[in-house]
Amino acid sequence: MRAIAGGADNASDLGRRLSISKQAAAKVVALLEDRGYVARMDDTADSRRKLLTVTPLGHEVMQQGEAIFDALRAAWAVKIGEPALDRLEQDLMLLVGDTAIDLDAPGSAGLEQD
- The answer to the question of residue 101 being in a domain is no
Residue of 22, 16, 18 lying closest to 1 (CA atoms): 18
Whether 103 maps to a domain, the answer reads: no
What sign for the dihedral angle of Cα 102, 106, 111, 114? negative
**Residue 27 falls inside a structural domain:** yes
For residue 7, is it within any domain?
A: yes
- In this predicted structure, which of 11-15, 38-42, 46-50, 82-86 has the lowest mean pLDDT? 46-50
Instruction: For residue 20, tell me if it sits in a domain.
Output: yes
Residue 101: is its pLDDT beyond 70?
A: no
The pLDDT score that the predictor gives to residue 85 is 96
Burial class (CB in 10 A: 0-12, 13-18, 19+), 12: middle
Q: 28 in a domain, yes or no?
A: yes
Determine the structural domain holding residue 46 and report its residue range: 2-96
Q: What is the pLDDT of residues 44-100, one digit of tens each?
A: 888 888 899 999 999 999 999 999 999 999 999 999 999 999 999 999 989 887 665
Domain CATH for 30: 1.10.10.10
More confident residue, 15 or 105: 15
Number of domains forming the structure of the chain: 1
